[in-house]
Amino acid sequence: MLIIISNPASGDGTGLQFVKQHVIPLIQHMGKYIEFETTGPGAAEQYAQQIVQQHVNSEEPIDLIISGGDGTVHEIINGIGKTSCVIRLILCPLGTANALYSTHFPVDPTLSETEYRLLGVRAYLKNNFKPLIITETCLYTENHECVKSVLGVVVTSTALHAAILHSAERLRATIKSLERFKLAAMENITLWYKANLMLLSHNDVHPTVYDPNTDRFTALSDDILTGPFAYFISTTNVDRLEPAFQISPLFSRSPPLLAELDLVLVRPLRDPEVRADDEVSRTNFSSKLMNVLQSAYQQGAHVNMRYTETDASVNSDFIVEYIRATAWKWIPVIAFCAFISRDV
């Protein structure tokens, strides 16, 4: 069964037109297909859930052509949920960032934009598919009770990246391009996040850390990394979050052999010039963090950046910690204020 799901609000809003003009002519020889247009947030998730429920006993694969961005894919994955149905996703990158698509189909300057956007459909016509790793993120109460579970195929973030996404959403109505992520980064760049990161082993697969000196992953000595964190992101299936922003480049350069997550983090207190978690340090550190993020645009060069770049003889720490793990726990450090009332 073949279904086309289009999000008319993704990217610059031309997804529906693209499907009609370019996708349908390529697939109509295959026979019947269904078209579905999303009507608002949550519509793609609900629709995908309904489709899977209707075909739960079917052995035929469900082929979903998705015209939209990573947010639409995310909703569809959550609608599908944990199922035994075979679902094949065929992406048309009509979103803003298109992280999943641009990782698997890096921009090719020899192709027109239309041809580039059709690479996914052409791969489908050649029956060319790759499996995706699906992650599950659970949100816990302080009593360790899981109150929400979210599936994902691209990124789970906290700290600066989560703040960027939050601010960028506010700018969506006025800025349709990737520029909104840069503005959102500037708004939040001086914030640090107090938390501890617990790295977990699963099925005897232990966390490893990338060593740029040897270009290898080696065993990690600590399984709890203390904050504050200036940056934290956990990606899967992708080496980038937009076509040129290669934040987790090792996913492609040194692919994980198992279902592992690539974690990219920056902990400012590792910087020899940072003495305290205060306003001045945060402001001073923000220019270093901005350089790290800018270097991600240079084929992921940030993974080799050191705190002291000027003197090659000084073997200073690498700024980015790049970790591979099957699971992790982010434990925010919450400052409690005790208000004591006294009878006078």
Ligand X SMILES: Nc1ncnc2c1ncn2[C@@H]1O[C@H](COP(=O)(O)OP(=O)(O)OP(=O)(O)O)[C@@H](O)[C@H]1O
Residues that bind ligand X (CB under 6 A): 7-11, 38-41, 43, 68-72, 75, 95-98
CB of 170 to ligand X, least distance (A): 13
Judged by beta carbon, residue 6 or residue 208, the one nearer ligand X is 6
Q: Which is nearer to ligand X, 2 or 165 (CB)?
A: 165
Residue nearer to ligand X on the CB measure, 75 or 271: 75
C-alpha distance from residue 76 to each of 15, 49, 67, 115 (Å): 16, 8, 12, 25
- CA-derived radius of gyration, the chain: 22
Tell me the closest approach of the beta carbon of residue 30 to ligand X, in angstroms: 24
Our CB check for ligand X shows the closer of 79 and 227 to be 79
Residue with tokens 């693209």: 18
- Rounded to a whole number, what is the largest CA-CA distance in the chain? 85
10 or 158, CB closer to ligand X?
10
Q: How far is the CB of 242 from ligand X (least distance, A)?
A: 7
Other Cβ atoms within 10 Å of 288 Cβ, number: 17
Give the nearest distance from C-beta 23 to ligand X in angstroms.
16
How do strand 231-235 and strand 155-157 relate by DSSP bridges?
antiparallel
Q: How far is the CB of 175 from ligand X (least distance, A)?
A: 11
Closest CA to 292 of 315, 271, 262, 261: 271
Which structure tokens are listed for 16? 């529906």
73 φ/ψ angles, rounded to the nearest 5 degrees = -60, -45
What is the β-pairing status of strands 208-211 and 216-219? antiparallel
